[in-house]
Structures are given as C-alpha cells and as structure tokens.
Structure 1
C-alpha cells in the first residue's frame, strides 16, 4: 500500500512545476506591462504639472490661464482682441488639462487592474501548493493508520505507546517537515526553468527596473538589489552601475 500512496502522490504533483513556471511567466509579463505604464503615467503627470504651472504664471501676469503659453503659438496669432485671446487661451488650457487627466485616470485604472491580476495569480500559486501539502498530510496520516492496523493484525506491539506526547509531536513534526520540503522542491523545480535576472541571478519578483543601455548584459534589476525604493524611484532614465561606468555617466 505504501507504494500506492507514493505513486498516487507523485502523479498528483507531476504538473505542479509546469503550472508554477506558467504562473511565474505570467507575473513577469504583468511586471513588464506595469513598468511601461508607470513610465507613461509619470510622463503625463509631469506634462500636466508643467501645464498648470504655466497657467498659473500666465494668471500672475494679468492674463487668462495658459495665455502666456498660447500667445506664443503662431497658429493662434491674428487680429483677435485681448478678450478673444483670453477666451481662446482658457479653452485651450481646459482641453489640454482634461486630456491629461483622462490619460492619467486611464493609466491608473490599468495599473490597478494589473495589480489585481498579479494578486490573483499569487493566490492560485498558493492554493495549488497548499492543496498538495494538505493531500500529503492526509496520505501520511492514512499511511500511519494503515501501518498501525497491520501491526495489530500481525500481533506486534504498537510502534509508539499510546499517549506518548513527545513521540506524537515528533511524528507530526516529521509530517510538517515533509510538507515544507515538498513546497521547497516544487518551487525549486519551477525556478530552475524560470529566466533569471539582476546581479543576484534570481527570478523576477517584486519591483524591478530596467537599464536604459540597450547593450546591458543584465537588463533588469530588483529594486532591493540596486538600493531603490518607491520613494527613490528614478523619474528619468536609469543605468546600472556597470553601464554607468562604461558610458561615463554619473
């Protein structure tokens, strides 16, 4: 019967490494999409902020919002009086501001959607591994019961005296250890075929940043490995330490 337990369990976990690899690959694709959207969002926010600051500067000089910027536009030059110019500038400012706001809201919604998808994938991974761990625990308990019954049938002494708390805990600890080893083995099998990145040579996880040098040997880096956080996230182009030296950048 022990062979049957092992065979059945081996068959049940045969697809786990492939499933984990597929989920990890999906997480990386979502990370890449999120990175591109974050760059786009930061650009739109900077443009809108610049627009508002220019509008405020125009008001400070006695004009309408955006009038200073729009008056320098040759396409809007003409014989219109000052009132018409002010009204035109106001309309131009509002249109641009609404356009930026719409793009910012859309990009933010897409980022939230990606975050929800990543959470869903992580939950699937957890549920999958947890399901097999629980099955292993059930099989081990059933196997222990089967051995105890067989010893009784053969007239042998129980392997463990009833009520021996220390031995019972030791057996349960062994079961838990086997479950943890299974979990680590499943993750190791998935990680073995998952692409690795960064100077740490680990798989994609958490926040990552890409080096702008197209010839960079590593390309992608974990925030924690290059000393970055959400607060210190670079707003412009970012180069890794090796590429900064190679390109002579500070």
Structure 2
C-alpha cells in the first residue's frame, strides 16, 4: 500500500475523533457543574443541621441526615460518571494510537520489502554485468586461440593478449572475483585468466607464455628481451 493510502485511511478513521472528544469533555464539564452544585447543597444542609440540631426531634434529625447522605451519594455518582468518561476518552485515544502504530509497522514492512527487492534487483543487475564481462572475456579467449592456431610459429604480440579496455581498467582483484568460464584459458604463475597489463616470455618454448605484471614484479615493460622466472631458472641450469 502506498504511503498516501496509509495516511488517507488513518485520517478517515480519526475524522470523528474530535467530535467524540468534544462531546465527552462537554459531559465532563456538565458533571463538574452538577457536582459543585451538590457540594454547595451538602454544605448548606450541614450548616442547617448544626444550627438546628438542638431543636430537632430524633425523626427530624434522621430525615435531615438522610438528605445530606443522598446529596453525598449523588455527588459520588457524578464523580464515578466523570471517571468513566475519562476512561472512555483514554481508551478512544489509545485505540487510535495503537492503530497508528500498526499502520506504521505495516508501512515499514512494505518499505523494507521494497528496499530488499531493490537490493535484489541491484544484485541481479551486477550479476548480469559480470556475465556480460565473462562473455566478453570468453570471446577474447576464443579469438586469441584462433589467432594462435593460425600463426603457431609466430612470437606472441608484444602488448600481451588482446584484453578488452574494460578489463584493463579494472583492478586485478575485481577480475579475480568475477565468475570464470571453465573453458577460458589461463596464464601466468597464478594460473588465472588474462587481465590488466601482461608481458610475454621471449622463450618460444615457454609453457606459460603470458604473465601478469604484478605476478612477476613488474611495474613497466622492460627493454629488450624478457624471460619468465621459470625459463630463467631453466636456462641457468643448462
């Protein structure tokens, strides 16, 4: 449900609340007036009883005390009614507060579901980009393999494998975290796919051929011929 709908429904539910509160407050005000009137009546009856008690007969005394007791009971009745109205007002307002809390909880749940859905969409979009990147790398590998088959005796290109510009711009760790096509060829001492800047070993019999700069401790391409660590060690043995 949209945010506007939650607000609209809640406003509809409390539309009559001000009138109900006003009615109950008016009744409470009327009870206050009637209670004050009874208190004044009790005060007058008490004063009259004290003033005339010596001259009243026993039956008259009893009747006078009954009037005072009746006024007290009526005053208590008004007070009880006022307490009941106060409780009704509290429950009325509390009911709307509880409903507001429930509506807010529902709105927060809906909002969280939308956020979770948005995160999932973002994750799906990222996976789609990774898949596209993987397809590009696989296409590059197939192109390179075809090129190697057409020229088996040619030396590898000086600029390394035909790496796409998007891979060159990526950090090596980003590439390694991407899903890899099991059919894609791997290179270097790390046995990973091609990415970033690479250098080819000048030994035509080198089993690895291409190496990542970082894996062989290079920051820039060296001048002259370059041999990988394995080929260098093999040549020293000879």
TM-score (normalised: structure 2) = 0.48
TM-score (normalised: structure 1) = 0.46
Which of structures 1 and 2 has the larger relative contact order (alpha carbons within 8 angstroms, sep 6+)?
1
User: Which of the pair has more CA radius of gyration?
Assistant: 2
